[in-house]
Amino acid sequence: MTTVGPTGDDLVEMLAALANPLRMRIVARLADRRDYVSHLAREIGVSRPLLHMHLRKLEAAGLIVGNLELSEDGKAMKYYEVTDFSLHLTASALAEAAKTLTPEKGPGAEEHS
Amino acid sequence: MTTVGPTGDDLVEMLAALANPLRMRIVARLADRRDYVSHLAREIGVSRPLLHMHLRKLEAAGLIVGNLELSEDGKAMKYYEVTDFSLHLTASALAEAAKTLTPEKGPGAEEHS
DNA sequence: GCCATCCGTAAAGAAAATCTTACACCTGAT
DNA sequence: ATCAGGTGTAAGATTTTCTTTACGGATGGC
């Protein structure tokens, strides 16, 4: 059985994206229905710049996707929606992912010539 | 179907604990076999105080547990091992968890008497 | 006594994440 | 022209997380 899943680094990024109350709420809202930035900001009660930042992080992790659309009255609106992610986290799954983590930036242990 | 799972806040804590390369490696090691602090620190190549801090975070999240034991030669050694956690992360699972998140510390929206 | 192993923590510095405020741009309606 | 609504981003203050360095205490063997 080789489910492959995301690399260790990608997994860390996804987990980091979800490990925040505000972002968890954002995902929850978008899971119910897609929405555009300004409206979502009002719904959740956050400033637009702040929401923008969190959306970027969620999108970078591949948990949501946004695309710019034009409303009938010509306004440019960016709609976000969740992707079909599904992560099963167990100790062994983590062990598997850990194998593909970028090696830590050590103090440059000298490689002999 | 009511799988209940952890509360939103607990889930955030667990995800935050796992969303770190070093801690992911720690869990990976402990998933293979339990170990005590000093040895684990040498294996992973980290200072003991640093490892200690990460272990605390993982334990606080309920992902690992440690207990102090006495080796034959009388040394006190703290052994850590992983717990049987299992988290299934999907958009709807997140939406469910988000319902039990602690309300944000708002600027104290006045409660009318 | 002195050294080696184990345990822990406190204090201070470096780095990263979070949040606010302010700005700039575009479109349609008044 | 001005306003209302949408978009985005940049700079700075604040907070949290990560990391190092320096301590302290306990045990057993030389």
Which residue has its C-alpha nearest to nucleotide D10's C1'? A49
What pLDDT digit, counting tens, does each position of B57-108 carry? 999 999 999 999 998 888 899 999 999 999 999 999 999 999 999 887 544 4
**Does residue B23 lie in a domain region?**
yes
Q: What is the pLDDT of residue A106?
A: 47
- Split at pLDDT 50, 70, 90, the class of A22 is very high
Q: What is the pLDDT of residue A104?
A: 73
Rounded Cα distance, A53 and A57, in Å:
6
Nucleotide with minimal C1' distance from the CA of A52 is D8
**Does residue A22 lie in a domain region?**
yes
Looking at the structure of chain B, the number of domains it has is 1
User: Across the interface, do A25 and B98 touch by the CB < 8 Å criterion?
Assistant: yes
- Split at pLDDT 50, 70, 90, the class of A112 is very low
Across the range A13-42, mean pLDDT stands at 98
**Does residue A39 lie in a domain region?**
yes
B98 contacts chain A (CB < 8 A): yes
- The yes/no answer to whether this complex scores an ipTM above 0.90 is no
Let me know: does B12 contact B18? Beta carbons within 8 Å: no
**Does residue B78 lie in a domain region?**
yes
User: How many Cβ pairs closer than 8 A exist between chain A and B?
Assistant: 118
Q: What is the pLDDT of residue B73?
A: 87
The CATH number given to whatever domain includes residue A74 is 1.10.10.10
CA A69 to chain B, closest CA, distance in angstroms equals 23
**Does residue A106 lie in a domain region?**
no
What pLDDT digit, counting tens, does each position of B22-67 carry? 999 999 999 999 999 999 999 999 999 999 999 999 999 999 999 9
Rounded Cα distance, A100 and A13, in Å:
13
> Distance (Å) from CA A70 to C1' D18?
44
**Does residue B106 lie in a domain region?**
no
**Does residue A103 lie in a domain region?**
no
Nearby residues of B81 by Cβ (< 8 Å), 6 or more positions away: B30, B34, B64, B65, B66
What is the residue range of A88's domain? 8-97
> Distance (Å) from CA A51 to C1' C11?
36
- Give the H or E element holding residue A88: strand A86-90
Mean pLDDT, chain A, integer: 91
**Does residue A105 lie in a domain region?**
no
User: Across the interface, do B94 and A18 touch by the CB < 8 Å criterion?
Assistant: yes
Across the range A62-73, mean pLDDT stands at 95
Residues of chain A with C-beta less than 8 angstroms from the C-beta of B88: 86-89
Q: What is the pLDDT of residue B37?
A: 98
Rounded Cα distance, B68 and B72, in Å:
13
